[in-house]
Structure 1
Amino acid sequence: MTAEPGADRLKLVIVGGYLGAGKSTWLRHQLYAGAFPNAHLIINEAAELAVDDAIFGARYPLTLLSGGCACCEGQAAFLTSLRQLCDDRSRAAGPQGRTSIAVLETSGLADPAAIAASLRADPMLAFHLALSEIIVLVDARNAAAQLSADPLGRAQIEAADRLVITKSDLAPPSDTARLVATLQRLNPGATITAETRGEPVPLPDATGADPLPLADHATAPIRPVQIDLPKGLDWASFAVWLSALLAAHGDDIVRVKGTVRTPAGRLLLQGIRDHVQPPEILPDSDMARDGTIVLIGREIDADRVTRSLTRFAGDLL
């Protein structure tokens, strides 16, 4: 359980959850509703190619940490950014010019408990910063597969002060009830709610529901892999190839992210396992990372995937 923050310290809220749980979408709704007024966002992505920061644009003060999770490879950069934020806050003239809250959106591979431990172990941050709350999102549609395949999902849930179930509209009520029973068993002290597209929805009655099976160990580590799209490949052709790839390897590829340029504009592409979300049109900007996608999963052979896409594109170009 996180400590009660002091009134004069910078509050930090950690928003965590497994790959594809909907952290960016949920956070965007919360910011729009005023849940974190005047927040400084810290967006952490495991891949070198960052995508989630494009969702927030330039509307919020934002620090981007890419190329490693804040709990391990990216921990040093994360702690440095927090120290800088605390230092800037101390130098600000008067309370109105001081940032009062920072919100960390973790990568889907991060363990919030390890992040909290690193904050406690840092003397400077322990004095200037207070961990206010750990919020972990849990995807009702994919939770069963995640919890049965990877102990990380359990670790994230056990670290939470508040658990938010997402996408319950895409899962049968009986499956969501089993998920609620699982969350109650893993973290009986956490508050459990459910939201769909930013709106609260009622939880199903979990009385008598059997908890979901949990993994003892992961079969292989999850890693991000970047794929460059061939020049001239149109959106429709790419969508066909991606659908075929996820249909064949959806159990190993747990997350797809990227931005691509199409005649309709810049599109944000996001997929979870074999489900590709409807693309979202983003504001136009000159970003070098357009045309590159990130596949996050187990034992992905980047060369093989690239050859497949190149061969597919060559048949159509």
Structure 2
Amino acid sequence: MNGPEEGRIRLTVLGGYLGSGKTTWLRHQLHEGQFARARVIVNEAAETPVDHALLGQASGLCVLAGGCVCCVAKAELISVLRKLCDERTRADAAGQRLDHIVLETSGLADPGPIVAAIKSDPVLVYHIVVSEIIVAADARHAMSQLRSEPLGRRQIEIADRIIVTKVDEAEPAELTKLLSTLVSINPAARISGAVKGVETALPSFEGVAPDALPDLNGQALKPPVAPTRLQLDDSIDWTAFTIWLSALLHARGDDIVRVKGVVRTPAGRLLLQTVRKVVQTPEILPEQDGLGEDNMIVLIGRGFTQSQLARSLRYFAGKR
């Protein structure tokens, strides 16, 4: 970089709505050697972190859980970034400079306030420059989010680069409509596609009209999307749990935006994830990782309480 930015630590902000595929994309970049020397900060809105379990290849990993860094956990983020700046200053003499930080935000975070907080901090402004804001957009669900969620639009509006994920899961007409709409919202952003983190070509959308998105400013405010933790009993019947989760997503899939957790099953220690009504293939995790809690499920959405979910699960599991 030239001018006053030269010498400062580059910060890449990776954002995107809940379930957009941020962690999967970042995981592949780390596997391919991108961000090889970068420190990675993962922010999760829930108190129980899960996504960090997929990022074992990060050279340095810090988890900020229990609130979004654009609001509740903003002070904690500033503190962590200041410590990294201090570490870099001490390491300069040893020739081990930290030159890059990647911040993966919560799916409920607005990148705008994060950038503003860094630029307004009297210490960080001299040590860190936001080099790029990357936003992941789920090819299957981004359009519905753009139509109904103001946050989803704000994330796209501020992006320098948009990664359209899960390209292989979208219908062609649906995908080209989304691409045209993304360009209409943010014509300056670079757009690329990805499948499980691997870059893939996008179809031409020339001549495809963007979606006529509704004005969300005048609509009545929806209840906020928030995380709810559900502790699973060690003696849980996994067949009953699977039936319960499938029924729950079928009935409340529009309200339950995301489910994720690490569960212990007869098949091993599994990473469980869903996006809306889509259950992703569980992934077997190694017996390691001191962060987080096994058999703790995080459900992110609106219109339900922890006690309602627990009562429903007990009913399906026959523990009434």
With the shorter chain as reference, the TM-score category is: over 0.9
SS at match of 1:314: coil
Equivalent residue for 2:209?
210
Q: Is 1:114 aligned to residue 118 of structure 2?
A: no
TM-score normalised over the length of structure 2 = 0.93
Query: Counterparts of 1:128-139 in structure 2 under 5 Å?
Result: 128-139=127-138
> Which amino acid in structure 2 is aligned with residue 191 of structure 1?
R
Mapped partners of 1:233, 1:151: distance in 2:
38
SS at match of 1:193: strand
SS at match of 1:178: helix
TM-score normalised over the length of structure 1 = 0.94
Mapped partners of 2:30, 2:105: distance in 1:
16
Mapped partners of 2:230, 2:129: distance in 1:
39
User: Is the alpha carbon distance of 1:34 and 1:276 closer, same or farther for their aligned partners in structure 2, counting shifts above 3 Å?
Assistant: same
Equivalent residue for 1:238?
241
Mapped partners of 2:131, 2:183: distance in 1:
22
Q: Is the 8 A contact 2:31 2:57 kept in 1?
A: no
Mapped partners of 2:133, 2:102: distance in 1:
10
Question: Which stretch of structure 1 is more off in the superposition, 202-211 or 117-126?
Answer: 202-211
Equivalent residue for 2:252?
249
Mapped partners of 2:301, 2:249: distance in 1:
11
Question: Which stretch of structure 1 is more off in the superposition, 301-310 or 212-221?
Answer: 212-221
SS at match of 2:259: strand
Q: Is 1:301 aligned to residue 305 of structure 2?
A: yes
Question: How much has 1:197 moved relative to structure 2?
Answer: 1.9
Equivalent residue for 1:174?
173
Mapped partners of 1:225, 1:20: distance in 2:
16
> Which amino acid in structure 2 is aligned with residue 259 of structure 1?
V
> Which amino acid in structure 2 is aligned with residue 281 of structure 1?
I
Mapped partners of 1:197, 1:226: distance in 2:
27
Q: Is the 8 A contact 1:151 1:215 kept in 2?
A: no
Mapped partners of 2:126, 2:138: distance in 1:
35
User: C-alpha deviations, 1:237-295, integer Å up to 9, x for none?
Assistant: 31211011000000000000100011222111110000010000111137561011011
Equivalent residue for 2:68?
69
Question: How much has 1:229 moved relative to structure 2?
Answer: 1.1
| TM superposition outliers: structure 1 runs of 4+ over 6 Å | none
Mapped partners of 2:77, 2:61: distance in 1:
13
Q: Is 1:277 aligned to residue 280 of structure 2?
A: yes
Question: Which stretch of structure 1 is more off in the superposition, 130-139 or 259-268?
Answer: 259-268
Equivalent residue for 1:310?
314
For structure 2, the 5+ residue unaligned runs are none
Question: How much has 1:4 moved relative to structure 2?
Answer: 8.1
Identity of aligned residues (%): 50
For structure 1, the 5+ residue unaligned runs are none
Query: Counterparts of 1:79-94 in structure 2 under 5 Å?
Result: 79-94=78-93
